[in-house]
Amino acid sequence: MSRAVLSIGSNLGDRLGHLRSVTEALGDRIVAVSPVYTTAPWGEVDQQDFLNAVVVADDPALDSSGWLRLGQQLEAAADRVRVQRWGPRSLDVDVVTCDEIVSDDPELTLPHPRAHQRAFVLVPWLDVAPDAALTVDGERRPLVDWLADLDDAERVGVQRTDLRLTDDPGHRDPGHWDPGQQGENRC
């Protein structure tokens, strides 16, 4: 079985609809879906806030390249156009991890090379996998430790919403992260 952690985001058009298109496409492959967060854009581009979430999915038919291709297909279906690095987008689907694969392939670097620097990935990921860890440059640390290393502004810029991506009760209450807490992700 191949398990992937996917970070999804949108800040153009029907932002929630674009995120839901991912969960609809994944269907019963979904293991867990985080709540939806609103986050300030990352980088130096002036643009609308993003909606972000994390989806954990299993599919024995997909390897890491298969998850990448599926993400690209979902982005294309949402009319994603790559114009500007870190610019606005209808849908962004990043493969954060796939199993425990470590790869420096330029097409798909795993784990995602900047996941540990982005609260909009770490916070929702903690909602669905509070004990998860991430290896960066050979150092394996719990997600809460990577999150604690970020600037306060980065952490508090990730705000949980009441929006949900699935009506499945099994995916509705993964927990809660309070940006004021250090090291603990549940209230």
Q: Does the active-site annotation cover 94?
A: yes
The single residue of 29, 80, 155, 164 carrying the catalytic annotation is 80
Residues paired with residue 30 on neighbouring β-strands, in sequence order: 57
Helix 64-77 vs helix 15-26: crossing angle, to nearest 10: 140
Phi, psi of 94 (to 5 degrees): -110, 135
Q: Does the active-site annotation cover 92?
A: yes
Q: Does the active-site annotation cover 186?
A: no
Looking at residue 34, what DSSP letter applies? P
The single residue of 15, 92, 155, 164 carrying the catalytic annotation is 92
What is the DSSP code string of 36-63?
PEEEPPSSS---PPEEEEEEEEE-TT--
Diameter over CA atoms, the chain: 41
The single residue of 89, 118, 155, 164 carrying the catalytic annotation is 89
The single residue of 94, 118, 155, 164 carrying the catalytic annotation is 94
Residue 126 three-state SS: helix
Question: Quick check: 38 and 161 in contact, CB under 8 A?
Answer: yes
Overall size of the chain counted in residues: 187
**Residues recognised as catalytic:** 80, 89, 92, 94
